[in-house]
Amino acid sequence: MKISYQEDTKVFRLDAAGMTYAMSVTDEEGFLSHLYFGAGLGDGDIRYLTRTQEMPWLASRNDRDRGSFLDAQPQECPGNGLGDFRSSAVTIIDSKGQRGIQPLVTGHRIYDGKERLEGLPHTWCRDKSEAMTLEITLKDPSVGAELILCYTIFDGLRAVVRSARIRNCGEQAFTLTKLCSCSLDFDYTGQRLLTLNGSWGREKRKQILPVGIGTQSVSSLRGISSHQAHPFLGLLSEGADQEQGEVIGCNLVYSGNFLAQVERSQFDVLRMQMGIHPEGFAWTLAPGESFQAPEAVLVWSDEGLGGMTRTLHNLYRNHLMRSPWLHRERPVLINNWEATFFDFDLEKLLAIAKRAAQSGVELLVMDDGWFGKRNDDNSSLGDWTVNEEKLPGGVKRLSEELGRIGMKLGIWFEPEMISPDSDLYRAHPDWAFSYDGRRPCRSRNQYVLDLSRKEVRDAIFDQITAVLDSADVAYVKWDMNRALTDVGSHAEGAEAGSLFHRFMLGTYELQERLITRYPDLLLENCSSGGGRYDAGTLFYSPQVWTSDDTDAIERLTIQEGTSMLYPLSSMGAHISVSPSQCVGRLVPMTTRGHVALAGTFGYELDINHLPEADAAMIPGQVALYHRFGELMREGDYYRIASYQDNHLFDCYEVVSGDKTEALLTWVQVLCEPNRRSKRIRVPGLDPDRSYRIEIADPAVQDDRWDGNALRSEEIECMQSFLNRDISGRTLAHAGILMPKLRGDFRSVLIRIAAV
Ligand code: DGJ
């Protein structure tokens, strides 16, 4: 790992793990040009990549065509209104109401380690030897603006973490109307654009499109990163696929409104940008004041999407997520939401907990409906006091009763919200976002709290801590169930254009306070499922509820998209009933278990109303989770086949860091007639070692169980690879032969262990 600046060539280089990112200071004026992002280049002069020896030449050499230079130059910090007609990285309105900004390089600083981003989620390093940072200072004296572009690389990772900070170093205030976290220009060579889009219950579906001339973007203006779009872009070079070819990924470490776009210009230059969405954004900076944009992570891979995924998982597990639970085995939980919805009391909860405890479940999550007078979703958000009619003796009694049967307690909150029918709203209607003279838009019959205000945050925090202090609570589920509308504050002097971001900062601050006050608390974020499952959220909670759709087959696609960026250890995955409440599909209990093993494992059902055969499988499933939990949490992830792509089957593998063990999950979604076995390559193992392959889940070998029991002819076909010694090289290239399984929604877990 190395960062350097060469005075004579004026080239900045960041080198890590066989990757190079390079920029140069162009022309005496000091434009910051992007030179290169890709495979490690070694030493050598790469200044020629600036293309300044060709038309339209340098600005200083060709002043009559300065605009042509600005509009063609590959930039790292494109300004606004002065000749680069592509999308700007920064825009402002100055005190005279004028626009126009072009920051130019005035200096730089290189140091070991990485600094924190106050109030925002950010990557970090344990000690300074793990990371290096380059800060480039750019100024535009005409408007009194100073920009610091920050670039961090981490030892052993093909990633560059970027952020931008702007300071008013002049004498007049100006209003910032856009600041990208990252902007870079590189040659278009036939790349395709990958985005993750979706909806409630259908989060993070892959979409791959050609990049045409013009602009393609994904964005959110919902105040959350959203179910519909995700703050991520992937660029796949021609021929790149899951395991080969070059891929660049860009992921924003932020959970609010965002814009992520690529713009292919007339000269086939791709400008890739990501940051807070500029629509409606305005942040006034008085002299001396600064604004910090969130971080964006750039990853380069020459091992296709899989390489990008593994780099992101390693970066997030080692340099973003912070919880003491991160590397710890998480308790197997049972959540009462899909079991009871709002219709529960102490007795019902304890009945679920008792049977669950006997099956090895360790924690009961009491979901929505325990507070105020909330018996449906029409009231009480903001009144975080226990409903003693449902829970006599309060949360304390519940936690004590659970303690007696060896179970821990988790509780659901939705701290950012307020019901119009709540004591809090009756006392402080001005604490909800609204525009004067306009009745705010309701969604799930609730309003959004103005968390830009400290007194509002304090009041909510005090209520939550009163509950948590009253009992032994091991886990909190922090939910958020509506998008932001009517974002008007009734606080003195609130700046309208700053509120979406201030709301996000307020939410982050509340979560920070919570995990600081309860350092051992296991915090799980949620936003109607995966509406705010993003890199920003992972800074505060080691696990996030992936989707409200718990049907195992739907989950294959949702979990594929989610795990493409985020570690399996963060992916909330629970077994629920069959037929699924969401889609009415009947799926064998073993298959539901195998799919949930890819995340933080748990149950979301009434164990007392489960078919006996399903309930009887729970101890075995819990044992499987304990056996493979560490491997799934810490291992390297390989996507082998995608049901989203082939509409028939899904397959993925997790390999331990030392390559001594792997677990392969095979789900045959639909059975086809007249098929022979499928050849499945098993990547990621040590080519020079021998491996023994076995069926990992004894339940599928036992025909007392559900429709997923393996038939004798299926087992016979698997004898081609079961209990034989096969080299990692053979497994990677020749693979194994997965039999056709009779029936739909079948699955097999395969353990591969070094001999
Ligand atoms: C949405 C969440 O995603 C669900 O798991 C559940 O907690 C409900 N909210 C409760 O209102």
Task: Determine which one of 15, 94, 450, 479 is catalytic.
Answer: 479
- Ligand 1 centre from 55 Cα, in Å? 58
Task: Find out whether 552 and 598 touch, Cβ atoms under 8 Å.
Answer: no
Question: Is the minimum distance from the CB of 414 to ligand 1 under 6 angstroms?
Answer: no
Ligand 1 centre and the CA of 652: distance in Å?
28
Burial tier of 682 (Cβ tally within 10 Å: 0-12, 13-18, 19+) = buried
The dihedral sign for the CA sequence 387, 393, 399, 402: negative
β-bridge partners, 104: 139
Ligand 1: which of 381, 479, 544, 582 to mutate, most ligand atoms within 8 Å of CB?
A: 479
Task: Return the best residue to mutate from 377, 412, 576 for the ligand 1 pocket (most ligand atoms within 8 A of CB).
Answer: 412
Distance 514 CA to ligand 1 centre (A): 20
Q: Domains (ranges, CATH) in the chain?
A: 2-319 (2.70.98.60), 333-635 (3.20.20.70), 639-754 (2.60.40.1180)
Spacing, Cα 479 to ligand 1 middle (Å): 7
529 alpha carbon – ligand 1 mean position (Å) = 7
Pocket test of ligand 1: the residue of 376, 411, 480, 481 to mutate, having most ligand atoms within 8 Å of its CB, is: 481
Annotated active-site residue 479? The verdict is yes
Residue of 395, 382, 568, 360 lying closest to 475 (CA atoms): 395
Q: What's the CA gap between 739 and 741, in Å, rounded? A: 6
Q: What is the 3-state secondary structure (H, E, C) of 572-598?
A: EEEECCCCCCCCCCCCCHHHHHHHHCC
- Does any ligand 1 atom lie closer than 6 A to the CB of residue 547? no
Q: Judge if the beta carbon of residue 529 lies within 6 A of ligand 1.
A: yes
Give the pair of three-digit tokens for residue 323: 């919880």
pLDDT digits (tens, 9 = 90+) for 451-485: 999 999 999 999 999 999 999 999 999 999 999 99
Among protein residues, the one with the nearest Cα to ligand 1's atom 2 is: 528
Mention every residue, 6+ apart, whose C-beta is less than 8 A from residue 707: 588, 743, 745, 746
Judge whether 548 counts as a catalytic residue.
Answer: yes
pLDDT at position 60 is 81
Distances from the Cα of 145 to the Cα of 79, 95, 172, angstroms: 12, 12, 10
Tokens of 714: 């299926």
What confidence score (pLDDT) does residue 417 get?
98
Ligand 1 pocket check: which of 200, 526, 532 to mutate, most ligand atoms within 8 Å of Cβ? 526
**Beta carbon of 620 within 6 Å of any ligand 1 atom:** no
**pLDDT profile of the chain (755 residues), mean per 10:** 96 98 93 97 91 84 88 95 97 96 98 97 98 98 97 98 98 98 97 98 98 98 98 97 97 98 97 98 98 98 98 98 97 98 98 98 98 98 98 98 98 98 98 97 98 98 98 98 98 97 98 98 98 98 98 98 98 98 97 98 97 95 98 98 98 98 98 96 98 94 79 94 96 97 96 98
Cβ(137)–Cβ(145) below 8 Å = no
Determine which residue's CA is closest to atom 6 belonging to ligand 1: 337
Q: Is the CB of 549 under 6 A from ligand 1?
A: no
Q: Is 658 exposed, middle or buried (0-12, 13-18, 19+ CB in 10 A)?
A: exposed
Q: Considering 84, 367, 548, 697, which one is annotated as catalytic?
A: 548
If you measure from the C-alpha of residue 147 to the centroid of ligand 1, how many angstroms do you get, rounded to a whole number?
A: 41
CA 250 vs CA 185, 311, 346, 565: distances in Å: 13, 12, 47, 10
